[in-house]
Amino acid sequence: MRRVKLPFATQNEGKIKESKRVLSQYGIEVVPIALDISEPDAGSIEHVTREKLRQVRGMGVDRAMVDDAGIFFAAYHQFPGVLSKRVFQGIGYRGVMKLLAGETRQAWFEGGIGLLWDGEEVFFSARTRGRLLESLPAGVTPDPGFPFDALFVPEGEHRTLAEMLPAERERFSYRVVALKELAEWLRRREGSGNS
């Protein structure tokens, strides 16, 4: 596949870095673009991602990547999900701990990546299963882009995502899985002579 540029409509520096690191291995150059996209606050990760793609298409863009992600608590049906950022901004770590008091700590991250490529829309998704800590770590401060990483322990691990080095975190990243699926799709698409 020839080297391609992939505009990424996000302002989240962590997502940009991770996407660049993963997709560069496939000859894909991620280029951040600033678009005024509203974030729907209802529905599934796929619904929100597809709505973002619809907005991007409406701006006259024909190639772009968007994403959405959220954490889901097994104790609450589809919550916080697409509202993860807003819920955390509203209640913080202490509120999360209070909300889950006496409840199962099972949780999962789910992420979706939407790709608009020459008029075609494609959706890729993945999950990372694990559990949330029973108590708040001393002195914990949220990463602005990934606040739940300080509480989330992936299956088969004893450390939170925040305690891991970036290369270790990638082994558990739902986004990395979805990005690799996107890269393979682009490889097949661009390798077939369609461009």
Q: What is the pTM of this model?
A: 0.88
- Average pLDDT of span 96-121: 97
Cβ neighbours, 10 Å, residue 192 = 9
Upper half-sphere CA count for residue 56 (Cβ side, 13 Å) = 29
**Residue 127's pLDDT band (cuts 50, 70, 90):** very high
Q: CA angle, 83 as apex, 41 and 11 as ends, to 5°?
A: 85
- Structural tokens at position 5: 């540029």
Mean pLDDT (the chain) is 93
DSSP the chain: ---EEEEE----HHHHHHHHHHHHTTTEEEEE---------SS-HHHHHHHHHHHHHHTT-SEEEEEEEEEEETTSTT-BGGGHHHHHHHHHHHHHHHHTTTS--EEEEEEEEEEEETTEEEEEEEEEEEEE-SSPPTT----TT-GGGGTEEETT-SS-GGGS-HHHHHTT-HHHHHHHHHHHHHHHHHHTT--
Residue 152 pLDDT level (bands cut at 50, 70, 90): very high
**Catalytic sites, residue numbers:** 68
Instruction: Place 40 in a pLDDT band, splitting at 50, 70 and 90.
Output: confident
Residue with tokens 């890729």: 124
- Counting the structural domains of the chain, the total is 1
Give the model's pLDDT for residue 166. Answer: 85
Predicted local distance difference test score (pLDDT) of residue 192: 57
**Model pLDDT, residue 14:** 85
pLDDT (average), residues 60-80: 96
Residue 90, domain extent: 4-191
pLDDT band at residue 195 under the 50/70/90 scheme: very low
Proportion of the chain above pLDDT 70, given as a percent: 97
Q: Are strands 63-73 and 28-32 parallel, antiparallel or unpaired?
A: unpaired
Matching residue, tokens 């509480």: 151
Q: Mean per-residue pLDDT for 22-29?
A: 96
- CATH number of the domain where residue 154 is located: 3.90.950.10
DSSP string, 114-161: EEEETTEEEEEEEEEEEEE-SSPPTT----TT-GGGGTEEETT-SS-G
Lowest mean pLDDT among 21-30, 40-49, 65-74, 99-108: 40-49
Task: Please report the pLDDT score of residue 1 as a whole number.
Answer: 67
Q: How confident is the model at residue 46 (pLDDT cuts 50, 70, 90)?
A: very high
CA angle (21 as vertex; 191, 177 as ends), nearest 5: 70
Q: What percent of the chain has pLDDT over 90?
A: 82
